[in-house]
Structure 1
């Protein structure tokens, strides 16, 4: 469905975040006289009316009956496609679409590499854009990474590097190349089950003419084995990490220690970006030196600096236990106190507990809504753990526990919604509690097309 197809239809927008605002702007840029109804929270209603005076604003969450009075509903990604209201409306004949789907319909000739994965997708997407631009390729960086595609509706680019969340993978395509960096449990509240989450992630494979996946993930390999044009990264006959270096087959090309984004998992993200570039016909070998100039993304193993005798690292984006394990792995050999816990989404912490039993960091501080559950699992396994209610108390406890010269790492392994609006607010608050200026943590470099 293209934007022009909305002409004469009864159209509702559900969500007034950045995606919702982008949808309103894009639709009215093409169809300025089309009446639009917006469903948003009551707290957003006044701002929505100011944003576009022609909107009919309903400051409430709609049910199936309310939605069924429309022909088309354009929903924001954070609204689950499995909400009963949406399912009921669709059963009544309402067409549900999104900003992502509208962009792909409007730009069928765009040359797209779309990246998804439980972890690593943002860094890989940004790395890919950075490396392509180092080759002089006009590249667009957009999607779930922080810029809705509809904000770039009329932009020109030779290459589009687009991050897609599991909420968006079923809304995209066809795509020149899809990249799947990893696959773990995540967003079970949106998808309803682990199997549905995996199935939704893998919708990217169906939309991709060529598919690039992480060779180090057996489940991912098994689930994508039937793709007719599947490529792999992370194994010895292609781009991989070995002996402290990024390699292409037997050729050592870049010292992992030269990456400003620390950890072997980020070196593997670099391999994914280089493999994708190569598969799309670009000179990946010529792009390798540009790895040295890539700045780590905020809230992703972000070194804040030293303060009060400690090194502070902000990994607030870590919302799964596996991400926390990767963060700890990147700091092997250091005296680390890790702060874990947050909103309880019911994820399984068994692997984390087993890893901590085998090789725990200097100290673990569990906090937040699921802190008690994590702490109990650790104690039941014989692992020493500190426990606090809030992030502020956890930072205070970490200061008291960590030896001089040690590292205090925020890598929660859980979402932020128990105490904060999002992971970025949590990361900024951690920076402030550590003694830094949280306002200095800015957005991701390079958004847009250039």
Structure 2
């Protein structure tokens, strides 16, 4: 659905985060009746309703838009009064009020779907996956720009697509969360390339079940029908897919881009040693293989660009080394929201004394695999915290007793940091890799990572910056 098709319909926005504000600006700027051009000034702007929190309502009211009606309760009855509801990604369409309204005929779409409908000819490279999607997207943009290609870096990584609805670029590197993949599938526009890094359980509270999460994530492939699908050959779910409407290119196997230790190969050809690239862990270097496979699929010589990865600046909150204080190295992996991610983080620091901070919002994920892994390669200390901290602690207590690592509970992140600092006694790595979301004390993982940096003695503003968002060169 194009923005112009909203004219004359009953339209609401649900959510006033950055995505919601971007949708509002796009509507007001882009449509006769919605917009601010000559035709819009000739008649009153089309009425628009916003559903948001009480705090957000104050911000929206400050716009002084007389055609914007603001409400703070999105009930099923109120949502059902609209033809179209433009929903922010963090709001699940599986909430009872949304499902009732959808049954009554309300159509829920996201800003991502609107952008794709507006830009059907854009050469898009959509990147999703449970982990690695942000790094892969940023690597893709970095390498293409190094080759002189005007490239957009946007989407879930921190810049909503609708903020760039009128911009131009040769290539669009777009990160998509599992909350956005169906937006692309439902837009009617096929992505040029879709990359999927991996699939394992995540965001079960939003999706409602593991199977629905997998189905929603894979909708980018199965329903979006990209012209080219770039897939991880090491992921069992991806390896089992049948995509008759897409050309499939694999990474992570010997006939494509893959790693042999730290050595990067394209097929049988050695390209360069990735040991000097700022991508901690083998899983991160696998993201480089994904990006290079997509670049080849674009018709660009990826082998020529691959060494430019040595100039890549790692993203914040993703195994981000903040620095060393009094013999202790502080690593911020706040984006870690699954036990699998915490295990991958520990693997990066195997052989070093590590105190890992675990726990946060409890979505019911199974920590049994993590506990079993601690039987063979435990860290020096584990500190649990957050809503699921006691559950993780109880599961690990027998392992700690038999293996001899230190296990402590903390009331909050500040206390967890103090426990970890004390456990290491001036030697080792304090690793924030919680394996759980931050809901509750923090707005999101970025705010948790900022607080961790502050507690460790580092400037949260400096560590949190993402370079390269937008379009360049």
Q: Name the TM-score class by shorter chain.
A: over 0.9
Deviates more, 1:287-296 or 1:90-99: 90-99
TM-score, normalising length from structure 2? 0.93
Aligned to 1:273: 291
Contact 2:322 2:463 in 1 (8 A): no
The residue aligned with 1:304 is 322
Which SS does the other structure have where 1:445 is aligned? coil
Distance 1:224 1:426, change over 3 A: farther
Runs of 5+ unmatched residues, structure 2: 36-44
Q: In the alignment, which residue of structure 1 is the partner of 2:8?
A: 8
Secondary structure at the aligned position of 1:299 is classed as: coil
Q: How many Å apart are 1:93 and its aligned residue?
A: 1.5
Contact 1:211 1:227 survives alignment (8 Å): no
Q: 1:108 to 1:42 in 2, by over 3 A?
A: same
Match of 2:230 among 212, 215, 230: 212
SS class of match (1:175): coil
Residue 51 in 1 paired to residue 63 in 2? yes
Which of 103, 107, 113 aligns to 1:91? It is: 103
Distance (Å, rounded) in 1 between the aligned partners of 2:75 and 2:437: 27
Contact kept, 8 Å, 1:366 with 1:374, in 2: the verdict is yes
SS state at 2:62 partner: helix
| Alpha-carbon offset, residue 27 of structure 1 | 0.6
Question: Which stretch shifts more, 108-117 or 355-364?
Answer: 355-364
* Distance apart, 1:82 and its partner CA: 1.0
Question: How far, CA to CA, are the matches of 1:290 and 1:92 in structure 2?
Answer: 53
CA RMSD of aligned residues (A): 1.4
Contact 1:428 1:438 in 2 (8 A): yes
Aligned length: 450
Q: CA deviation at 1:44?
A: 1.2
The match for 2:52 among 30, 40, 44 is 40
Partner residue in 2 for 1:410: 432
Comparing 386-395 with 47-56, which one deviates more in the overlay? 47-56
Q: Does 1:424 align with 2:440?
A: no
When residues 403 and 242 of structure 1 are mapped into structure 2, their CA distance, relative to the original with a 3 A threshold, is farther
Distance in 1 (CA, whole Å) between partners of 2:452 and 2:246 is 46
Structure 2 residue aligned with 1:314: 332
Q: 1:126 aligns with which of 138, 147, 152?
A: 138
1:192 aligns with 2:208: yes
Secondary structure in 2 aligned to 1:146?
Answer: coil
Find the residue that maps to 2:295 and give its secondary structure: helix
Q: Is 1:348 paired with 2:362?
A: no
Establish whether residue 256 from structure 1 lines up as the match of residue 274 from structure 2: yes
Long gaps (5+) in structure 1: none
The residue that corresponds to 1:287 in the other structure is: 305
Structure 2: distance between partners of 1:298 and 1:51:
32
| Equivalent-residue separation in structure 2 for 1:39 and 1:440 (angstroms) | 34
Q: Shift in Å at residue 225 of structure 1?
A: 6.0
**The residue matched to 2:318 in structure 1 has which SS?**
coil
CA displacement at 1:227 relative to structure 2: 5.9
Q: Distance in 1 between matches of 2:2 and 2:469?
A: 24
Query: Deviation at 1:236?
Result: 1.3
In 2, Cα distance between the equivalents of 1:445 and 1:154?
A: 22
For the 8 Å contact 2:317–2:464, the answer to whether it is kept is: no
Measure the CA separation in 1 of the matches of 2:64 and 2:313. 37
CA-CA distance at 1:110 after TM superposition = 0.3
| SS at 2:299 equivalent | coil
SS of 1:231's equivalent in the other structure is: strand
Partner of 1:379: 397
In 2: Cα distance, 1:367 partner to 1:326 partner = 19
Note if contact 2:46-2:67 (Cα within 8 Å) is conserved in structure 1: no
Tell me which residue corresponds to 1:180: 196
- Partners of 1:79 and 1:28 lie apart in 2 by 22
**CA shift for structure 1 position 404:** 2.9
**Where does residue 203 of structure 1 map in the other structure?**
219
* Inter-partner Cα distance in structure 2 for 1:243 and 1:263: 11
Q: 53-62 or 174-183, which moves further after superposition?
A: 53-62
Q: Does 1:359 align with 2:377?
A: yes
Deviation per residue, 1:351-395 (Å, 9 max, x gap): 111111111112111111111111111113445422212111111
> What do residues 133-182 of structure 1 show as CA deviations (whole Å, max 9, x unaligned)?
00000001111111110000000000001001101101114101111001
1:105-144 equivalences under 5 Å are: 105-144=117-156
Give the drift of 1:57: 3.6
Q: Would you say the 8 A contact 1:166–1:200 is kept in 2?
A: yes
Task: Return the alpha-carbon distance in structure 2 between the equivalents of residues 28 and 114 of structure 1.
Answer: 27
**Is this contact kept in 1: 2:47–2:69, CA < 8 A?**
no
Mapped to 1, the partners of 2:276 and 2:160 lie a distance apart of 32
Where 2:192 maps in the other structure, the secondary structure is strand
* Segments ≥4 residues shifted beyond 6 Å: none
